[in-house]
Amino acid sequence: MERNEFIKSLGLGVALVCTGSCFSACGKKSDTPTPDPAGGGTPGTTASVDLSTQILTVGASLVVKSILFIRTATGNAASSFSATQAICPHQGGALSFIQASNYIQCSLHAARYTTAGSILAQPSDGGTTTALKVYPLTISGNTLTATT
Ligand code: FES
């Protein structure tokens, strides 16, 4: 085999291997459920808070499984709490509750939301965001549970 022929055959072989691995990687389907790109975890996810030890005071908050739990009132009724997505719908920044200002704020572009998920301020980068998902809550004993 001439050197040129060898190099050509080698190049064709490498191209076939690369193409084949690319197609096989692109064609694979995942067996795991698709996470919610807007945050809040996979639909149907539940997250719980132990009310005997967690978010005991009004304004306290906690993130569990990408859900932001906020205590908005005294007492252990479901209406005393809010549960929203913990990931900003704009570009995925982490959300946290700012107790002193009584709003949820994004760490990335400072968009602000009410505890009911409504938009108070758009992102500082000139983009636009959407309202937060708010999840239904149930209480059983001292366990507060949100379901996405
Ligand atoms: S990612 Fe939250 S405001 Fe941009």
What does the pLDDT look like over 51-73, one tens digit per residue?
999 999 999 999 999 999 999 99
Which pLDDT belongs to residue 42? 72
More confident of the two residues 43 and 93 = 93
Distance 128 CA to ligand 1 centre (A): 9
Query: CA triplet 35, 140, 71: central angle to 5 degrees?
Result: 70
Q: Which of 85, 87, 91, 104 is the pocket-test mutation for ligand 1 (most atoms within 8 Å of CB)?
A: 91
Q: How far apart are CA 117 and CA 84, in angstroms?
A: 7
- Inform me whether the pLDDT recorded for 92 exceeds 60: yes
Which pLDDT belongs to residue 2? 59
More confident of the two residues 81 and 26 = 81
Q: Which of 103, 108, 122 is the pocket-test mutation for ligand 1 (most atoms within 8 Å of CB)?
A: 108
Q: Which amino acid is at 143?
A: T
Q: How far apart are CA 85 and CA 112, in angstroms?
A: 13
Residues with CB under 6 A from ligand 1: 88, 90-93, 106, 108-109, 111, 123, 129
- Inform me whether the pLDDT recorded for 105 exceeds 60: yes
Query: CA triplet 121, 72, 147: central angle to 5 degrees?
Result: 85
pLDDT, mean of residues 33-55: 75
Architecture of domain 46-147: 3-layer Sandwich (2.102)
pLDDT, mean of residues 101-114: 98
Half-sphere exposure of 143 (CA within 13 A, CB side): 7
The structure tokens listed for 98 are: 């700012």
